[in-house]
Structure 1
């Protein structure tokens, strides 16, 4: 009888230990191998954050200024004279924090705002809250400007020709429309994601480019074959890129309207026709800020393009979790 009790006790103890071990070592979502099944779990988690954001501020793609056509600036162009004249203050970014303030004293209209350091830090805090630190480590400069409301909302540009480091610029006048501001920050990160030096061959010989090149070329370099930008270009722009170039859509407002009307189901916003790089940034922002679509139009396919990359699904969920944190501050 004693042996029987000992056997029962021993086996119960081992079973309890086994169950306890499973409970302790069961991996969370971040430890699971990336498979289609686990990606679905991450998508659902991201959607749950999006639902909570929507409950607090409404549809994040519906904001009062109607500036969906104005989110971002062409990454191919250096800052225009307009931006230089409207720059108010610029900071260096060191270890993710602002330092070495530089005021543009020639902008006499904005001298009062130039001294409002607290508001500068609040704008930067919004960006650093929404975009995870490991995704913005190459942002080494932060500029605040204003050209009035609903014009240029923000921009990013490389600080060096190798595109190792970047500057983020935001228009403080447009930041008062919070949903518009969140949209802009996510859009601008879309440029950092798709045009960084891990996505492109820098120091590209622009004089050798042609309309028949096999990969997408930017002003700063040539996209590597499996980069997000090149894959997007190959899938969505190859058929009408020559037409777009011939019509000079990038520089002609009337051509932009006409091109959009010719392809109304191909673009998520009218601004997306301005440039392939703006198109992917707009699609990226819709990917973050709305649920997966049904692929009934090319525009929806563009939004869903990013779901094929498990790492971008993870980033979407982190950004939405962080956006919820930012929204709760207000």
Structure 2
């Protein structure tokens, strides 16, 4: 979830229920969608789909090639003027079906919306089922036996992107508090370690923000700071180097 100028919340990938009567934020600060469309490949299905919704979805398909987003089977347009440009979460218990929410009200520039699309996709990339096998970490036994970084729906797989990212960059900062004041203090204290202030929220947001910078950079920065090393982190994976190349070419970035 990418937020602007609002209290920072932990990224949620739980199933949400909405009444499609308008837009804004619900009581938990999550975006209320303007509508909901099923996704088949590069198409969204529905009658009388507004032009602005079609344009944003079309842009998303241009930025994120179909082979990387097979789990995204629902698109929900949102009004970014309430402070959230995009969000993504699983809506099936086995994390096989995800919904992506994107601003259609021109609340940000086209460049920033492209960046939001890449940021949200990075959550899918790093939080999907093969990266975080399902387990209830609310169960103290499960949580205490977790030998890697624990998220609400499971422990990161030992060889997952997020587990390696946390091992390299977050160990001195654990455990993580996502309280707004703590996040601000973390960023100010370690300002050279984060690509943005929002990245200091928690490892899931940090890796998503760093991935967005990795994809959008015309040339990767020198490894002169921890923030830059986070951007270069993804380049150690041949699969992600190819993904970056394809996203940049597909979206003409």
Band the TM-score falls in, shorter-chain normalisation: 0.7 to 0.9
The equivalent of 2:21 in structure 1 is: none
Unaligned runs of 5+ in 2: 17-24
The equivalent of 1:98 in structure 2 is: 44
CA distance in 1 between counterparts of 2:146 and 2:110 reads 41
RMSD: 2.5
CA distance in 2 between counterparts of 1:176 and 1:265 reads 26
| Structure 1 stretch displaced more, 286-295 or 202-211 | 202-211
CA distance in 2 between counterparts of 1:173 and 1:233 reads 35
The equivalent of 1:219 in structure 2 is: 152
Query: Measured at CA, do residues 81 and 292 of structure 1 come closer, stay the same or move farther in structure 2, by a change above 3 Å?
Result: same
Give how far 1:214 is off: 2.2
The equivalent of 1:193 in structure 2 is: 125
Query: Measured at CA, do residues 176 and 265 of structure 1 come closer, stay the same or move farther in structure 2, by a change above 3 Å?
Result: closer
CA distance in 1 between counterparts of 2:170 and 2:77 reads 33
Matches within 5 A, 1:27-46: none
Query: Measured at CA, do residues 85 and 238 of structure 1 come closer, stay the same or move farther in structure 2, by a change above 3 Å?
Result: closer
Unaligned runs of 5+ in 1: 1-66, 102-114
The equivalent of 1:76 in structure 2 is: 12
The equivalent of 1:165 in structure 2 is: 97
Conserved? CA contact 1:73–1:154, under 8 Å: no
CA distance in 2 between counterparts of 1:134 and 1:87 reads 25
Conserved? CA contact 1:295–1:301, under 8 Å: yes
Q: Is 1:89 aligned to residue 25 of structure 2?
A: no
Give how far 1:253 is off: 1.8
Aligned to 1:93, the other structure's residue is in SS state: strand
Aligned to 2:133, the other structure's residue is in SS state: strand
Which one has a larger percent helix, Structure 1 or Structure 2? 1
Query: Measured at CA, do residues 213 and 116 of structure 1 come closer, stay the same or move farther in structure 2, by a change above 3 Å?
Result: closer
Matches within 5 A, 1:237-256: 237-242=170-175, 244=176, 248=177, 250=178, 252-256=179-183
The equivalent of 1:286 in structure 2 is: 213
The equivalent of 1:42 in structure 2 is: none
Query: Measured at CA, do residues 125 and 74 of structure 1 come closer, stay the same or move farther in structure 2, by a change above 3 Å?
Result: farther
CA distance in 2 between counterparts of 1:176 and 1:116 reads 22
| Structure 1 stretch displaced more, 254-263 or 305-314 | 254-263
Matches within 5 A, 1:1-330: 74-76=10-12, 78=14, 81=26, 86-100=32-46, 117-148=50-81, 151-174=83-106, 177-207=109-139, 208-210=141-143, 213-242=146-175, 244=176, 248=177, 250=178, 252-290=179-217, 291-324=219-252
Q: How many residues align?
A: 238
CA distance in 2 between counterparts of 1:183 and 1:69 reads 17
Report the TM-score when normalising by structure 2: 0.85
Conserved? CA contact 1:73–1:152, under 8 Å: no
CA distance in 2 between counterparts of 1:85 and 1:155 reads 8
Conserved? CA contact 2:221–2:232, under 8 Å: yes
The equivalent of 1:36 in structure 2 is: none
Give how far 1:186 is off: 0.5
Conserved? CA contact 2:166–2:203, under 8 Å: yes
Conserved? CA contact 2:77–2:104, under 8 Å: yes
Conserved? CA contact 2:4–2:84, under 8 Å: no
Deviations 1:135-161 (A, max 9, x none): 011101000111516x11100010112
